[in-house]
Amino acid sequence: MAKRDKGTLRAALAKHRARSHQRAEEKRKAAVGQASKAVAAIPPKKRAVMPFAPDDSVLLVGEGNFSFTLALLSPPHNHPPHQILATSYDTEAEVYEKYPDARAIIAQIRAKAGLHADRILAFGVDAGALHKCEAVTGNRKDDSHRWSKVWFGFPHVGAGHKDEQRNVLANQLMLLRFLVSIAPYLTQGRAPAYVTGKARRSSDDEDEDEDEDNPAGHRHAGEDELLSEHTIWRPLSPPMRQGSVLITIRNTPPYTLWNVPMLGKKLRSVFGPIAASAPPPPKGTFMPTLADVDRAGAEYVVWRSFEFDPQMWKGYSHRRTVGFVEGLSTSNNEDLLRRPTPPSASKPQGRHVGTGECRTFELALR
């Protein structure tokens, strides 16, 4: 009888150990599964897109304090100064008056440009009337297709229209004028590899963030090359490929209401209605006609859009069109990066003070 009791006890213990081991194994597998799901739920971090190749001829329009120009010239980007023209709508005196930090920034730009200091900057340039600026157009007929990348960063008319619809129309008209004006001066040739390597998309939300920070095999200049840029004068040398326009805005209303992709793709059909409905621009502003639109061939496709990260541009400090505004303007782009305040009873939509993301749309002629 005792032997049978011992056998029964040993069998019960063995079953208990087996059940305990099975439960532990099930818990381990469940934990592994939960961890795998958590890892899978984390989206891969997208690297910042560098839109300028070292051989790009770069035209910057609508510069404020010229800090983006300085960032483009400086490490780690080190873009050759003979390949850059940075322009401002304001005169040089107006720039210094509106932006207290501009004088020191412009002095640094000219120092970095070396022998090219007298032609790297141009003032009093209307982005909607570029044909009036010889620095943009060149002084010879064969100079016309000069710019492979044209960047318009955070455009805004700065007219203070309180009505949102009038504000949207005024800024749409400004961008339409710009797109017509720049068309004759974009370089021609084959599209870059990052475009030809994948099918073009025609939808309005051309969201094509790159997962590579150097998709075209771009190489930054070394110290010896930078030194030669200061001591050897070089002419502007546009690359033999199709040029494009880069328009960067905050990815939040009212800026998203401008619908940048639509303006490019449907330029001819929307130009007349927007021009007729928008508030009149300042007296003397050049206004293109539909004949100018057709002559310039100003109809665009969207190559891609990608997040613009101001932290990628060391030293860049965003400035408003109206100038440095105490309490609103910031030194470290906080006004671009901070997220909107949460909704409240008095403001159910919250305040649109930035979404933490800015977006660049890259357009090219059809």
**37 occurs within a structural domain:** no
pLDDT one-digit tens code per residue, 71-103: 999 999 999 999 999 999 999 999 999 999 999
pLDDT of residue 139: 85
**247 occurs within a structural domain:** yes
pLDDT of residue 348: 46
pLDDT one-digit tens code per residue, 253-298: 999 999 999 999 999 999 999 999 999 999 999 999 999 999 999 9
**217 occurs within a structural domain:** no
pLDDT of residue 162: 75
**41 occurs within a structural domain:** no
Number of structural domains (the chain) is 1
Q: Which positions of the chain have pLDDT values less than 70?
A: 1-7, 9, 12-14, 16, 32-46, 159-161, 198-231, 320-356
**101 occurs within a structural domain:** yes
pLDDT of residue 321: 54
* Cβ neighbours of 54 (radius 10 Å): 16
**Torsion, Cα of 317, 323, 325, 331 (10° steps):** 10
Looking only at Cα atoms, what is the longest distance across the chain?
115
Burial (Cβ within 10 Å: 0-12, 13-18, ≥19) of residue 291: exposed
**47 occurs within a structural domain:** no
CATH code at position 124: 3.40.50
pLDDT of residue 161: 65
How far is the C-alpha of 356 from the C-alpha of 104, rounded, in Å? 29
On whether the CB atoms of residues 316 and 67 are closer than 8 A, the answer is yes
Interacting residues of 159 by C-beta distance below 8 A, sequence separation 6+: 167, 170, 279
Q: Which domain holds residue 142?
A: 58-191+229-340+357-365
